[in-house]
Amino acid sequence: MKDIEPLPPSRIRELDDEARAFNRMVTGLKWFETYVPRQLVLRLMEAPEGPAVGHREAELTVMFTDIIGFTALSEDMPAAEVAEFLNHHFDIVNRCIDAQGGTLDKYIGDAAMAFWGAPEPVPDHAARACRAALALLKAAEDHQAEGRIPPVRVKIAIHTGPLIVGNIGAKARMNTVIGDTVNVASRIEKLCSDEDDGSPALIIVSGETARAAGDGFNFERLGEHVVKGRQEAVEIWRLRA
């Protein structure tokens, strides 16, 4: 939608009215795309009678990102600088996710949640998520190498597992993915602090993600850890460049 050019005005009134209406629609869709995942916008546009209310179970890969030490980093910054800082950071996060065909689901303070494998099936969703995480690591390394202020360090957690995909929630506000896999990914993100060695970005993935991603990645096994809300331990690995 970003590539759609506005229609020029016309001396014929009917054509000019249609051009104005079309341009307003395109402008509205471009704004809509900034608040709703792009893939979901395209899916809604392809469903003239509205999205189906059903849902399905599918294996997806979920990612959480979070800025390390954001509270301390931002406490002495004016609100406008904090907003500019976060906008710049999330622009990088979004580009890395979008480049690997992921869906940026939401922002939660200085954190972001994304997933791969829906709404369209993606066989290599785990590998794509890992490549997006490595791109974020590279961006964080470049940020430090350039001596940018304030310095940014990021923790990234990735988990692969079954999720419910579809329209779930109140009719006025639907979720697209829901399930224990999201919770586990969020819990894994909390484990990043235990492995923090000062790197620009720390990427921790579950054993399920490491196995699903396949060859071509540098994984280091960190053992099994108990996470809040789960009785069984979670096997975690560190993904390095």
Q: Where are the domains of the chain?
A: 55-240
* Assessment of whether the complete model's pTM goes beyond 0.95: no
Count CB-CB contacts under 10 A for residue 211: 14
pLDDT tens by residue, 16-72:
667 667 666 666 555 455 545 555 555 555 554 555 445 678 899 999 999 998 888
Measure Cα distances from 145 to 12, 150, 188 in Å.
57, 12, 28
In CATH, the number for domain 55-240 is: 3.30.70.1230
Q: In whole angstroms, how large is the CA radius of gyration of the chain?
A: 20
pLDDT tens by residue, 124-145:
999 999 999 999 999 999 888 8
Is 59 within 8 Å of 162 (Cβ atoms)? yes
